[in-house]
Structure 1
Amino acid sequence: MAARIAPERRTRLDLVITALLVVAALAAALILWWTAPARSTESVTAEQEPATPLPTESLPTELHELWRAPSGATQVPSVGKATVVTGDGGTMTGRDPATGDELWHYTRDAELCAAVAAWPGGENDALGVYRNSRGCSEVTALDAGTGARKGNRSSDADAEITLSYDKTFALAAGDTRLETWGSNLVRGIEYGRVDAPVNPDVAPERDRCRLFSAASGGDRVAVIERCAPDTGYRLTVLSSTLTSEEKVREWGSHQITDTSHGAPPVVVAVTDDTVSVYDGGADSGADAGPTVRLFGVDAVQQSARTVEGEATPPTGSLPLTARALVTYWTGRSTVVLDGGTGQPRIQISDTIGPGEVATGLLVPVAGAVSVRDPVSGRELRRIPVDRGDYTGIVSLRVLGPYVIEQRGDEVVALGPRPE
């Protein structure tokens, strides 16, 4: 007969340890719940996908203000497939382009660093980046039509960022680091400051770099930076994704100005083969003047074209991609570049911001929207716009028959006078 095994006896110490472990687990769960973003989030989604406005065949002869909304988290109008996305405080809102009525909103108990409507022809996302103890770190992706949450990601970030996107990737760039991610929010690369690198040999080796401007396109990221011991500003061109060895691929990197006494150049457009840079000329020779310089992906200059502009690129001026064109405001004129080659095609004088392609090339000017031939730049007509006492940069987008303008911290929708 088999011997019986006596049951294990629990001592008072065992019970005390078990109780402490249970208390610790409950405390950890409470902390996770208390600090979780979802706890401090309010999400109101649209009941159904809004109808997409039909492209306009002809703009009205007059444009009247239809509505306006605060949107300090956007730098250019964020236009989805059927909605205008605004960002203010901790709230992203999807709005009806005709009325400005709220279709959905997403609010967190945190400040929005930046917001953008991305990939309206495909994923149709609204991306919001929120501030936490690690900088502009918390990324939330929503459906721009309904406001339904699609995903979140988090990583280290700078205290201020610029958020943009190309056909494939989103790009969040600060003054010490940048990163890309796709519509699935999976990171492509991170570059610059990395606090705890798993593999220190992943990125190109440079010391004490400050990043000034970055843009992506054609599976490339171009960065204007200055690193020790550079005397001038440097252009670096990277791949948007890691190599098969999980490393950041650098296509080229060269110092492109002699000194860094003036304002840094600005990356305007990035294609498969070229990088277009606006250079005010202060550090590129006494007689250089403002130019758009065209570089290969090896960061070697190919050509340059003199343009009307300021020596210091205007703060807050961001390039806009409009179908097959890229437009950039230099402070004096709007330069129009070919979106496929990066080559400057035309420039339009006396403008107040970048433009959009609709029934023609629409460019904001004082007191009006100028409709131009996108090939020659010839003005076809002017549509009067009353902007009151606003005198800053105006960026505009078009959604159906509506013209959406970003004026500082506000978004203003224009269209025919309501009946």
Structure 2
Amino acid sequence: MAARIAPERRTRLDLTITAVIVVLVVLAGVLLWWTAPARTTELRTATEEPVALLPTESLPTAYRELWRAPSPATDVPAVGKATVVTGDGGTMAGRDPATGRALWSYRREAPLCAAIAAWPGGNNEALGVYRNSRGCSEVTALDANTGERRGNRTSDADDAITLSYDQTFALAAGDTRLETWGTNLVRGIEYGRVDAPVNPDVAPNRDACRLHSAVSGDSRVAIIERCARDEGYRLTVLSATLTEDEKIREWGSELITTSAQGAPPAVIAATDSIVTVYDGGGATDRPDPTVRTFGTDAVERGARSVDGERVPPARSHPLTAQALTTYWTGRSTLVLDSNTGEARVQITDTLGPGELATGLLIPVDGAISVRDPVTGRELRRVPVDRGDYRGVVSLRTLGPYVIEQRGDEIVVLGPPAE
């Protein structure tokens, strides 16, 4: 007969240790639940898919204000396939362009750093970046039509960023670092300050650089920066993705001003062959503001004088749609071919960038100026009452509606009531 195995004896110490472990596990679970973003997240999706709007075939004789909403998280109008996306406080919302009613909303108990509507002709996503202890680092992607969650990512970031996109990539740029992401939110590159680099030889060898502006296009990222040993401002052009050996490819990097006494230039367009820069002239010996074009090797190809401010306007951001890029210099609107980066025309006495609809629509004092996109010749003006607002106006369109970003507000215009 097999010998009987005596049961293990549990001492008071064993029971105490077991109880402590159980308490620690419970406390860890409660802490994870308490700090989890999902606990403080509220997502309300659309009850039905909104209908995508076709481009308008004619403009009204006048516009009236349909609705407005606070949106300090957007720098330019965030326009999806069928919605206008706004960002305020910790909430993003996809709104009906006709009424302003929120068809969907996403709210977190965290500050919303930036929001855009990206790739309306493709993935049609609303991207929101929220701030936590690591900066503006928590990214959420939603369907811009319905608000359904598409994905999330997080990484180190600066305390303030600008958010933009091109045909393929989103770009989040702060003053010490930037990142690109694909439509699936997988990171392409990170450049600048990297607190814990896995491979320190990934990026170009430059120290203590401040990033002043950045634009992506055609798998390139063009950056105006100033590094510790630089006398002036530098243009750097990178690939938006890593090479096969997991390194950042630098196409070119050159000093483009003789000093840093004046305001830094601003990148306004990038393609696979040309980078376009607005230079107010304060940091060079140029007497006037200029639009300068560079190859992707960062070597200057040409320049032309334009009407603009010495300091690029802080709230002026390039708008790209339908093969045109527009940029406001503080006095005039530049119209560039977005495929080549070349400046086509300059339209003076304007309030901001515009968009191609049934003509090139440009905001001007008391109206929207309809222009020939090739020559810049004015075809007609449609009156708009903006009240006492005197700042930058960025203009986009969605079907028959005109969406204007006026400071921290989105204002939507439509035809007069019948």
TM-score (normalised: structure 1):
0.98
Rounded Cα–Cα distance in structure 1 between residues aligned with 2:317 and 2:372: 22
Give 1:246-325 correspondences, 5 Å limit: 246-287=246-287, 289-325=288-324
CA contact (8 A) 1:64 1:385 kept: yes
Rounded Cα–Cα distance in structure 1 between residues aligned with 2:286 and 2:381: 38
The answer as to 2:218 corresponding to 1:221 is: no
CA contact (8 A) 1:111 1:130 kept: yes
Give the corresponding residue for 1:344: 343
Deviation at 1:14, TM superposition (A): 3.0
The answer as to 2:396 corresponding to 1:400 is: no
Give 1:177-256 correspondences, 5 Å limit: 177-256=177-256
Rounded Cα–Cα distance in structure 2 between residues aligned with 1:3 and 1:243: 68
The answer as to 2:326 corresponding to 1:327 is: yes
Deviation at 1:54, TM superposition (A): 2.0
- SS of 2:21 mapped into structure 1: helix
- SS of 1:183 mapped into structure 2: coil
Rounded Cα–Cα distance in structure 2 between residues aligned with 1:241 and 1:49: 34
Give the corresponding residue for 1:60: 60
Rounded Cα–Cα distance in structure 2 between residues aligned with 1:243 and 1:22: 48
- SS of 2:208 mapped into structure 1: strand
Rounded Cα–Cα distance in structure 2 between residues aligned with 1:8 and 1:186: 52
Runs of 5+ in structure 1 lacking a partner?
Answer: none
CA shift digits 1:204-225 (9 cap, x unpaired): 1111110000010110111100
Deviation at 1:11, TM superposition (A): 3.7
Deviation at 1:345, TM superposition (A): 0.6
Rounded Cα–Cα distance in structure 1 between residues aligned with 2:300 and 2:49: 47
CA contact (8 A) 1:305 1:344 kept: no
Higher alpha-carbon deviation: 159-168 or 23-32: 23-32
- SS of 1:414 mapped into structure 2: strand
Deviation at 1:9, TM superposition (A): 4.3
Deviation at 1:3, TM superposition (A): 5.8
| Amino acid of the structure 1 residue aligned with 2:257 | T
CA shift digits 1:336-382 (9 cap, x unpaired): 11111101111101101001011111000000000001011111110
Rounded Cα–Cα distance in structure 2 between residues aligned with 1:29 and 1:161: 33
Higher alpha-carbon deviation: 12-21 or 394-403: 12-21
Rounded Cα–Cα distance in structure 1 between residues aligned with 2:220 and 2:172: 14
What is the CA RMSD across the aligned residues, in angstroms? Answer: 1.2
Give the corresponding residue for 1:159: 159
| Amino acid of the structure 1 residue aligned with 2:322 | R
| Amino acid of the structure 2 residue aligned with 1:154 | T
| Amino acid of the structure 2 residue aligned with 1:153 | R
- SS of 1:208 mapped into structure 2: coil
Rounded Cα–Cα distance in structure 2 between residues aligned with 1:263 and 1:282: 6
| Amino acid of the structure 2 residue aligned with 1:347 | Q
Rounded Cα–Cα distance in structure 1 between residues aligned with 2:286 and 2:187: 42
TM-score (normalised: structure 2):
0.98
Give the corresponding residue for 1:362: 361
| Amino acid of the structure 1 residue aligned with 2:14 | D
Runs of 5+ in structure 2 lacking a partner?
Answer: none
Give the corresponding residue for 1:15: 15
Deviation at 1:200, TM superposition (A): 1.2
Deviation at 1:245, TM superposition (A): 1.3
CA contact (8 A) 1:46 1:147 kept: yes
Rounded Cα–Cα distance in structure 2 between residues aligned with 1:380 and 1:327: 18
CA shift digits 1:251-286 (9 cap, x unpaired): 111110000111100000010111100001111215
Q: Mark the CA change 1:197 to 1:55 in structure 2 (over 3 Å): closer, same or farther.
A: same
CA contact (8 A) 1:265 1:279 kept: yes
Give the corresponding residue for 1:48: 48
Give the corresponding residue for 1:142: 142
Deviation at 1:418, TM superposition (A): 2.9
CA shift digits 1:288-333 (9 cap, x unpaired): x111111111111111121111111111100000210100000111
CA contact (8 A) 1:215 1:221 kept: yes
Deviation at 1:26, TM superposition (A): 1.2
Over the matched positions of the two proteins, sequence identity in percent amounts to 74
